[in-house]
């Protein structure tokens, strides 16, 4: 297991040591090195440098074409310490037909992360939404046959990336998008109860070093969904599912909220179960036109990040894209466009939201340097029964 403590020294920690010299001292600057980050002057720091010193990850999602050399890739490598393949590891990409596997896009994104000393949140093995499940999978009605396809999928894909990725979103969106019941998915319909715990165990067996996560949408704003998700995670743990962490996507509906006290308590509800928690797909849309909304957006970003920083065991904040030009929200048909939900504008210029995220991270670094060290909470659950799907 790689997740023995929440403030681990992995590639991120090594990067932090290189950047900061001796943590807690005045940063040392090796001859010829890039500008040293001084959190008292946040403009001297990247998000990644600040997150590194805090022992957390700051991440972004990206597609295979976005990690090709250019300003997009430059921004990714400079600012972020974790990378989530946005679509490259989804079932429809990796396993588009029975027994057919394609890792070209996944290899590109994972390879870029490795080259840039970024960790990988591999996303995702089983997405329990019919809309994003290949037709050939949805056509399977027999529980034994579907269990075999699921086992083949997760063992092949997780096995392919074993040792290259630090964590998997094993199950994505087990609950209904705008509700509290299980989603209406072929997996929930056809497979017997207990299938999710079996999938976690199968992934643990094939990649024992990867942290295993469950990821959900809308728990921060759909009424009752947080409580339903806590109950589901509890049930999975009770069933022996080897879950290490809980991802909350945090696709905010607007710049309103979240309330820091209430949202950080939601995060704590998962760390109280002995799990890590992370914000895995953050974006905050604003109405088109005018710059005032950019400032409201910046404050909303601050509240989300501050909520995570308030909770030991909240180990990552990942934004769902880098520039406003590449957001999924503009194609959703729900919000007036352009939605401008991310940290960088179309021309890679940092927005007020970027400045505010950097500022709140810098404040946390300064507070940490001034105060006592933070205790690590208890470790993850590791029970691993065999796959029985
Ligand atoms: O951003 C992703 C978009 O490019 C894809 O077309 C879509 C369908 O695969 O998925 C989007 O990402 C989703 C993520 O994988 C899971 N949570 C919701 C995200 C937005 O739909």
Domains in the chain with CATH codes: 41-370 (3.20.20.80)
Instruction: Using DSSP, state whether 239 is helix, strand or coil.
Output: coil
Q: Which of 66, 79, 281, 316 is catalytic?
A: 281
Beta pairing partners, 245: 213, 276
Q: What is the Cα gyration radius of the chain?
A: 20
Q: For 190-211, what is each residue's pLDDT tens digit?
A: 999 999 999 999 999 999 999 9
Residue nearest to atom 8 of ligand 1 (CA): 132
Instruction: Using DSSP, state whether 147 is helix, strand or coil.
Output: helix
This prediction's pTM? 0.89
CA–centroid distance, 256 to ligand 1, in Å, is 23
CA–centroid distance, 237 to ligand 1, in Å, is 27
Residue nearest to atom 1 of ligand 1 (CA): 328
List, in order, residues 6 or more apart from 4 with CB less than 8 Å away. 379
Residue nearest to atom 4 of ligand 1 (CA): 328
Residue nearest to atom 3 of ligand 1 (CA): 328
Residues touching ligand 1 (Cβ under 6 Å) are 86-87, 90, 132, 172, 217, 249, 281, 328
Ligand 1, atom nearest to 63 Cα: 4
Q: Which of 79, 173, 216, 356 is catalytic?
A: 173
Parts of the chain with a pLDDT under 50: 1-33, 376-389
CA–centroid distance, 132 to ligand 1, in Å, is 9
CA–centroid distance, 363 to ligand 1, in Å, is 32
Q: Which two tokens stand for residue 57?
A: 């990850």
What confidence score (pLDDT) does residue 19 get? 38
What confidence score (pLDDT) does residue 127 get? 98
What angle, rounded to 10 degrees, do the helices at 11-20 and 47-54 form?
A: 110
- Residue 246 sits at φ, ψ, to 5 deg, of -120, 120
Instruction: Using DSSP, state whether 366 is helix, strand or coil.
Output: helix
| 281 noted as active-site residue | yes
Residue nearest to atom 21 of ligand 1 (CA): 328
CA–centroid distance, 369 to ligand 1, in Å, is 38
- Per DSSP bridges, beta strands 57-62 and 82-85 are parallel
Q: Which two tokens stand for residue 286?
A: 């604003």
Q: Distance of CA 103 to CAs 89, 116, 135, 169, Å?
A: 8, 20, 20, 17
Between the two ends of the chain, the Cα-to-Cα distance in Å is 24
CA–centroid distance, 327 to ligand 1, in Å, is 10
Residue nearest to atom 18 of ligand 1 (CA): 217
Ligand 1 pocket test, pick from 134, 220, 221, 281 with the greatest ligand atom count within 8 Å of Cβ, gives 281
| 227 noted as active-site residue | no
Ligand 1, atom nearest to 87 Cα: 9
Where do we find the tokens 């001084």? Answer: 38
List, in order, residues 6 or more apart from 271 with CB less than 8 Å away. 277, 311, 312, 313, 314, 377
CA distance 40 to 23: 14
- Annotate 92-120 with DSSP letters as a single string: HHH-SBTTB---HHHHHHHHHHHHTT-EE
What confidence score (pLDDT) does residue 375 get? 55
């Amino acid at each position: 297991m790689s997740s023995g403590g929440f403030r681990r020294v992995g590639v991120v920690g090594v990067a932090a040591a290189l950047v900061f010299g001796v943590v807690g001292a005045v940063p040392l600057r090796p001859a010829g090195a890039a500008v040293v980050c001084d959190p008292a002057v946040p403009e001297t720091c990247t998000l990644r440098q600040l997150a590194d010193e805090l022992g957390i990850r700051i991440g972004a999602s990206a597609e295979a074409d976005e990690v090709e050399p250019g300003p997009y890739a430059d921004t990714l490598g400079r600012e972020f310490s974790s990378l989530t393949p946005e679509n490259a590891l989804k079932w429809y990409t990796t396993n588009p037909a029975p027994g057919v596997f394609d890792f070209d896009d996944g290899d590109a994104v994972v390879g870029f992360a490795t080259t840039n000393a970024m960790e990988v949140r591999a996303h995702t093995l089983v997405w329990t939404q019919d809309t994003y499940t290949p037709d050939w999978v949805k056509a399977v009605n027999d529980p034994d046959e579907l269990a075999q396809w699921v086992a083949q999928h997760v063992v092949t894909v997780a096995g392919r990336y074993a040792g290259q990725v630090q964590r998997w979103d094993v199950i994505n969106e087990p609950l209904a998008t705008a509700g509290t019941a299980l989603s209406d998915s072929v997996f929930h319909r056809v497979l017997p109860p207990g299938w999710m715990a079996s999938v976690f165990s199968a992934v643990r067996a094939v990649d024992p070093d990867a942290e295993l996560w469950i990821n959900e949408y809308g728990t921060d704003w759909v009424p009752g969904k947080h409580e339903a998700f806590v109950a589901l995670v509890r049930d999975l743990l009770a069933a022996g599912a080897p879950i290490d962490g809980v991802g909350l996507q945090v696709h905010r509906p607007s710049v309103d909220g979240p309330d820091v006290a209430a949202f950080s308590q939601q995060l704590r509800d998962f760390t109280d179960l002995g799990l890590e928690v992370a914000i895995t797909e953050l974006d905050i849309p604003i109405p088109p036109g005018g710059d005032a909304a950019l400032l409201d957006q910046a404050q909303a970003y601050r509240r989300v990040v501050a909520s995570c920083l308030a909770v030991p065991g909240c180990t990552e904040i990942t934004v769902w894209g880098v520039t406003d030009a590449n957001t999924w929200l503009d194609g959703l048909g729900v919000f007036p466009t352009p939605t401008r939900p991310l940290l960088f504008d179309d021309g890679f210029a940092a927005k007020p939201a970027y400045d505010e995220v950097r500022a709140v991270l810098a404040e946390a670094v300064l507070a940490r340097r001034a105060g006592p060290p933070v205790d690590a909470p208890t470790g993850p659950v590791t029970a691993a029964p065999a796959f029985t799907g």
